[in-house]
Structure 1
């Protein structure tokens, strides 16, 4: 205790104020729903290729049953402009692993709302490679859903869409993200 002019003063401990609730704008919820929806697109592709639920991947061609998640798509690019390059990657174990880890990681990050910068960068690279594998496009000179999804991914990261209906705000305050902001 400190004494001041015959009086005793007791220092009060500093108690940080609890953070004020964050007011989200309607557009924040639109970005959050877009983030979760696009995350589900990536996660579903991963799950269907892994287990072969019969939507895009029959059970016999599931990765758990010895199928290759990249062969069907990449082998079908042989006649395209970059088909020689991409069809040569089809079925290689390292390509299958990178593709599946990418789908799972990007999807998980988007659904949770954490690591959106890395998810946007990795997702954009993956989507642009899939777009390039299909060149020339048959329905449009250059634009397709891969490009649209890549633009949305970048928008999600720039809008900090993980902060609404996600763990983005908490994630950005963790020690590792404070040390390495690229992980936001």
Structure 2
């Protein structure tokens, strides 16, 4: 290679979005699994009452409600009445728990990340609205962990983060996923 050709080769820079380094892909995979575990752990603790956020006596399998305590204690915000009305209902309990389980497993396994991103962002938006950090004395009234988790789920879907240390490549080859690309 001539000196001029070598210099030209060195000047080539990938356009933003055109590449993801191996280190970045691995870091996203670790973050994806860790974020998935946040959702899965919430599901497991609320289901079985491990005593971290949910005592055994209030576990879902022991007749407790995964949404009643949180939603009935909403004190501020424009949707206060709505959250009080749905607190502890079968619809709220099942939707919340299926969401936690589905989002957690999808992120950990690296499959269905588009669906998980939409569901995760929606769940986090509703939880943000329920806590209403604008008036609840939050240390950051706009960007809290709900916003970060929702955005993280979207990033995982947009970067195909399930293909590194996940089942994303295998999942994408399934006939149903090939016919319904929104399932990727």
What pairs up with 1:53-72 in 2 under 5 angstroms?
53-72=50-69
> Pairwise mapping of residues 1-184 of structure 1 onto structure 2 (< 5 A)?
25-135=22-132, 136-138=135-137, 139-184=139-184
Q: Which has the higher helix share?
A: 2
Separation in structure 1 between the aligned mates of residue 126 and residue 158 of structure 2, nearest angstrom: 22
Change in 2 beyond 3 A, CA 1:141/1:78: closer
Distance in 2 (CA, whole Å) between partners of 1:137 and 1:158 is 32
* TM-score with structure 2 setting the length: 0.85
- Rate the CA distance shift 1:32–1:161 in 2: closer, same or farther, 3 A: same
Q: Which of the two has higher C-alpha Rg?
A: 1
Gaps of 5+ in 2: 1-19
- Where in structure 1 do 4 or more consecutive aligned residues deviate above 6 Å? none
- Segments of structure 1 that go 5 or more residues without pairing to the other structure are 1-22
Q: What is the RMSD computed on CA atoms of the aligned residues? A: 1.3
For 1:79 and 1:152, the matched residues in 2 are separated by: 27
Return the offset for 1:80.
Answer: 3.7
Q: Matched residues in 2 for 1:133 and 1:76: separation? A: 9
CA distance in 2, matches of 1:102, 1:53: 19
Using the TM superposition, give the Cα deviation of residue 24 of structure 1 relative to its aligned residue in structure 2, in angstroms: 6.4
